[in-house]
Amino acid sequence: MKYLVIIPFALIVVAAIGLAATLAISRPAPPPPLAAMSEADQLLAKPAGAVPPYSYYAARDGARLAYRLYGGRPGGGVAVLVHGSTGLAIAVHTAARDLAAAGITTYAIDLRGHGESGSLGDIGYRGQLEDDLADLVTVIEQRFPGERRLLAGHSLGGGFVLRAAGEPIAARFDGFLALSPFISVRSGTSRPGTGDRASVTGGWANAAVPRITVLSLLNGLGISAFDGLDVIAYAVPPNAEGKRARIYSHRLLANMSLPRDWQPALARIAKPAAVLVGANDQLFVASAYAAEIRAANPTIGVEVLAGVDHMGMVIQPAATEAIVRTAGRLLGH
């Protein structure tokens, strides 16, 4: 009889040891440089036009979070523009500049965990990015009362925009614009990596898949104590401009991404939303966006821009012209 008690206990101990070993051993390996991203980084190091200095606002936890403010015109609306993975506000400078020139006041932000906002590659808890966004909107409401508001983002930042569009924070915006957004590694929009199971998004990132699996299992049991562990590394150029987060924690990656069941998340989006993607995107499969997104939510418009690649989405004139046009429509111009 005693063996009937001992055996289940022993199995639990063995399973716990296995999970602990996986957490300890599985680490994200930095991927080799990706030519497309390295070339884009060189362009971003020489931005065209005046770059506004950093300004800061206080988040609810007292942290100073950074943004660059591009002034528009009264009545033109306000956009909050979110960079992609490992990025900074300067990464979306050209798009922010052109939005402002069209009259749309634009806040290009350093998300917490990036650049001048918080500890690189990490946040305090899942949902903190939405809390930070809510605190920024309060600042915007005080400075620009009555203006309509747009949330826009590029790449993983575009995925965050789509995530936010289906959450309570959506009530504080009038429209949502996702630029070449990361949807999911399980989506047809995600381009395979180098052939290694860990390599994702066209070789831009290496994920510690076993560690992510264990952390997700623990999260399902209500355990988040290990969510600060690193789970993904990016091919950030060695001499990249600015403070770049080369590795993300589990909680930062999860908070910036759409949930695992991303289709219901998109289906919850009720406010005006649109997706723009370049036909020549090196990280994602542009031709797959329309069918996948419209199957989840047919109200979300999808436009594929000829001749535009991944980083070109926030740099190339054809792309920024489309951004300005679409942003104006979403803001009701």
State which H helix or E strand residue 98 sits in. helix 93-101
In a domain, 11, yes or no: no
Q: What is the pLDDT of residue 233?
A: 95
In a domain, 21, yes or no: no
Q: What is the pLDDT of residue 202?
A: 77
Q: What is the pLDDT of residue 28?
A: 80
In a domain, 18, yes or no: no
Tens digit of each residue's pLDDT (9 = 90 or more) over 134-155: 999 999 999 999 999 999 999 9
- What does pTM read for this prediction? 0.91
In a domain, 104, yes or no: yes
Tens digit of each residue's pLDDT (9 = 90 or more) over 276-303: 999 999 999 999 999 999 999 999 999 9
Q: What is the pLDDT of residue 199?
A: 60
Domain extent, residue 157, equals: 34-191+230-330
Count of CB atoms situated within 10 Å of the CB of 83 = 26
In a domain, 196, yes or no: no
In a domain, 48, yes or no: yes
All residue ranges of the chain with pLDDT < 70 are 1-22, 24-26, 43-45, 193-200
Non-local CB neighbours of 320 within 8 Å, separated by 6+ positions: 94, 95, 98, 314
Q: What's the CATH code of the domain at 320?
A: 3.40.50.1820
Cα angle 265, 271, 272; round to 5: 110
In a domain, 114, yes or no: yes
Domain count within the chain = 1
**Long-range pairs for 220-224: beta carbons < 8 A, 24 or more residues apart:** 224/125, 224/126, 224/251
